[in-house]
Amino acid sequence: MSLLIRSGRIVTAVDDYFADIHVEGGQVVRIGKDLQVEGTRVIDATGKIVFPGGIDPHTHLDMPFGGTTSADTFETGTRAAAFGGTTTIIDFAIQTKGRATLEGLETWHAKAAGQAVIDYGFHMIVTDMPEERLGEMGRLADGGVTSYKLFMAYPGVLYSDDATIYRAMRRAGEDGTMICMHAENGIVIDEIIKRAVEEGKTAPKYHAATRPTRMEGEGVHRAIAIAEVAGVPVYIVHLSSADALEEVKRARNRGVHAYAETCPQYLLLDESYYDKPDFEGAKYVMTPALRHKDNQDVLWKGLEMGHLATIATDHCPFCFGGQKELGRDSFTKIPNGAPGVENRMALIYHHGVNAGRISLNKFVELTSTAAAKMFGMFPRKGTIAVGSDADLVVFDPERREVISIDNPATHHMKVDYSTYEGFVVKGYPDVVIARGEVIVEGGSFHGRTGRGQFIRRARYGDLLRP
Q: Does 337 interact with ligand URP (rule: CB under 6 A)?
A: yes
Site string for Zn ion, 173-202 (x = CB under 5 A): ---------x--------------------
Q: Tell me whether residue 316 or residue 384 sits nearer to ligand URP (CB atom).
A: 316
State the minimum distance, in angstroms, from the CB of residue 140 to ligand URP. Answer: 19
State the minimum distance, in angstroms, from the CB of residue 368 to ligand URP. Answer: 21
State the minimum distance, in angstroms, from the CB of residue 118 to ligand URP. Answer: 20
Of these partners, Zn ion, ligand URP, none, which one is at the site of residue 461 (CB under 5 to 8 Å by kind)?
none
Instruction: Please list the residues that pair with 419 across neighbouring strands.
Output: none
Q: How many CB atoms lie within 10 A of CB 188?
A: 16
Q: Does 310 interact with ligand URP (rule: CB under 6 A)?
A: no
How, if at all, do strands 147-151 and 119-125 pair? parallel
Among 175, 314, 365, 416, contact with Zn ion (rule: CB under 5 A): 314
Residue 72 amino acid letter:
D
Residue 457 CA to chain centroid, in angstroms?
16
Q: What is the dihedral of CA 55, 148, 286, 106, to 10 degrees?
A: 80
Interacting positions 121-160 with Zn ion (CB under 5 A) = none
Return the DSSP state at 324: G
d(CA 114, CA 116): 6
d(CA 39, CA 42): 9
State the minimum distance, in angstroms, from the CB of residue 286 to ligand URP. Answer: 4
Of these partners, ligand URP, Zn ion, none, which one is at the site of residue 336 (CB under 5 to 8 Å by kind)?
ligand URP
d(CA 448, CA 439): 8
Tally of CA atoms within 13 A in the half-sphere of 14 that contains its CB: 6
How, if at all, do strands 64-65 and 68-69 pair? antiparallel
How, if at all, do strands 27-32 and 64-65 pair? unpaired
d(CA 212, CA 288): 9
Among 182, 344, 362, 412, contact with ligand URP (rule: CB under 6 A): 182
Among 152, 316, 403, 413, contact with ligand URP (rule: CB under 6 A): 316
Site string for ligand URP, 261-300 (x = CB under 6 A): -------------------------xx-------------
Q: Tell me whether residue 31 or residue 188 sits nearer to Zn ion (CB atom).
A: 188
Of these partners, ligand URP, Zn ion, none, which one is at the site of residue 414 (CB under 5 to 8 Å by kind)?
none
Contacts of 143 by beta carbon, 8 Å cutoff, 6+ apart:
105, 456
State the residues that interact with Zn ion by CB under 5 A: 182, 314
State the residues that interact with ligand URP by CB under 6 A: 60, 182, 238, 286-287, 314, 316, 336-337
